[in-house]
Amino acid sequence: MDSHDDLFGNTQYGGGNSGLCPNLDGCGTVYELSPGTNGVWRERLLFSFDEGLDGGVPDSDHLTMGKTENLLGTTLFGGPDNIGVVFRVMP
């Protein structure tokens, strides 16, 4: 949770049918949930992975928020040798 009460998470699959993960309907996403009115939360897609150099299938147990509200995590696949990457999503 950030200083605005927004929640962040990631999905291992979904985010659109990329060419590299066609059977998974995408290689995963990073998203934000923001509190709205009347208890309804708003969802915003921050990033969709494609299993290329930016990685794919993020490890959902390892999404961390840094001191400057950067989101840091790892993926199971992708990168130069297809063994995963460390990623950062900045505000």
CA distance 66 to 81: 27
Q: Could you tell me the pTM of the whole model?
A: 0.85
Sign of CA dihedral 63, 9, 87, 28: positive
Instruction: Please enumerate in sequence order all residues whose Cβ is within 8 A of that of 41, keeping only pairs 6 or more positions apart, or say none.
Output: 33, 34, 35
Q: Please give the backbone phi and psi of residue 88, each rounded to the nearest 5 degrees, phi first.
A: -135, 130
Higher pLDDT, 89 or 18: 89
- Domain edges within the chain: 7-89
Letter string b/e over residues 30-49, b meaning 16 or more CB atoms within 10 A of that residue's CB: bbbeeeeeeeeeeeeeeebb
For the stretch 10-64, pLDDT in tens is: 998 888 766 677 666 888 999 999 998 888 999 999 999 888 888 888 987 788 9
